[in-house]
């Protein structure tokens, strides 16, 4: 599916979110502790590289991994080359082609919903992060069932598939987006899963009245003393 829409993915993102996705990605950077020069970030399901490139612009060394060649192949041409070193890999987030504890942070933006086994993906992300480093997830979620929530639900079901379909040429891809967002676990449940999978200091921030959420957790430090900061 992503191979088919790769060429129009960025345009559809900008239009459907009104550009807000950019500010959400910047918040992920902040939640990761704003890694810069000397830091290494692994961006899983990096797609066309928007989040990876933000980290690279801040000076971090970044590995972007995605298993859809057509998506990740668009990323290098968006790299100005003025940031930290970038490596783009075609690979599976469920079996990352990287060693243990190689990164200061691992991120996944709008990707966890798409992998076949989200728990395994989180464990893989934690495996490649050093003790004390962070795992960050940016994902859509469903707002509460108030007036705003009802309007948003109608947008997801009726408006978004039409606009997304017209922009990308694949309406089914945006029906899929609606189905997967509505079936996605509530933030508390996702946080509980991250904790069960060994992450500590887990927390989340709802964005835009809950239509998206940033989850964060830390890989336990070896001395048992875990950093807690905002």
Question: Which of 9, 13, 63, 6 minimizes the C-alpha distance to 40?
Answer: 63
Distance CA 52, CA 109 (A): 10
List the one residue from 33, 83, 84, 111 that touches ligand SAM (CB under 6 A): 111
Using the rule CB under 6 A, give the single segment among 103-111, 127-135, 142-150, 218-226 that binds ligand SAM.
103-111
- 103-109 and 129-140 beta bridge pairing: parallel
Using the rule CB under 6 A, give the single segment among 108-116, 143-151, 158-166, 204-212 that binds ligand SAM.
108-116
Vertex 68: Cα angle to 44 and 215 (nearest 5) = 25
> Tokens standing for 187?
């933030």
Closer by beta carbon to ligand SAM, 40 or else 107: 107
Q: Does residue 50 bind ligand SAM (CB under 6 A)?
A: yes
List the one residue from 40, 56, 68, 218 that touches ligand SAM (CB under 6 A): 68
> Tokens standing for 136?
């960050």
Closer by beta carbon to ligand SAM, 113 or else 217: 113
Using the rule CB under 6 A, give the single segment among 41-49, 126-134, 151-159, 206-214 that binds ligand SAM.
41-49
CB 44 within 8 A of CB 111: yes
> Tokens standing for 46?
């990096």
List the one residue from 114, 141, 191, 218 that touches ligand SAM (CB under 6 A): 114
**Sign of torsion, CA 114 116 118 120?**
negative
- Name the CA dihedral angle for 6, 214, 179, 73, rounded to a multiple of 10 degrees: 10
Q: Does residue 93 bind ligand SAM (CB under 6 A)?
A: yes
Backbone angles phi, psi at 72, to 5 degrees: -70, -25
Closer by beta carbon to ligand SAM, 132 or else 161: 161
CB of 107 to ligand SAM, least distance (A): 8
Using the rule CB under 6 A, give the single segment among 74-82, 104-112, 188-196, 204-212 that binds ligand SAM.
104-112
Q: Which residues in this chain contact ligand SAM in the complex, by CB under 6 A?
A: 2, 45-47, 50-51, 66-68, 71, 92-94, 109-111, 114-115
């Amino acid at each position: 599916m992503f191979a088919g829409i790769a060429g129009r993915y960025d345009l559809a993102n900008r239009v459907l979110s009104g550009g807000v996705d950019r500010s959400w990605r910047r918040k992920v950077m902040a939640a990761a502790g704003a890694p810069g020069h000397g830091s290494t970030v692994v961006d899983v399901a990096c797609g066309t590289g928007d989040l990876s490139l933000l980290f690279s612009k801040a000076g971090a060394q970044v590995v972007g991994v995605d298993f859809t060649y057509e998506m990740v192949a668009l990323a290098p041409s968006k790299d100005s080359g003025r940031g930290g070193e970038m490596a783009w890999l075609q690979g599976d987030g469920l079996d990352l082609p990287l060693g243990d504890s190689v990164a200061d942070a691992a991120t996944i933006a709008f990707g966890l919903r798409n992998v076949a086994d989200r728990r395994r993906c989180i464990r893989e992300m934690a495996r490649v992060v050093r003790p004390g480093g962070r795992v960050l997830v940016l994902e859509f979620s469903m707002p509460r069932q108030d007036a705003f929530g009802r309007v948003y639900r109608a947008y997801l079901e009726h408006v978004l598939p039409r606009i997304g379909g017209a922009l990308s040429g694949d309406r089914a891809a945006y029906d899929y987006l609606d189905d997967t967002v509505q079936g996605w676990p509530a933030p508390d449940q996702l946080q509980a899963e991250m904790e069960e999978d060994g992450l500590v200091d887990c927390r989340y921030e709802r964005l835009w009245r809950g239509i998206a959420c940033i989850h964060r957790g830390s890989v336990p430090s070896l001395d048992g003393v875990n950093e807690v900061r905002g």
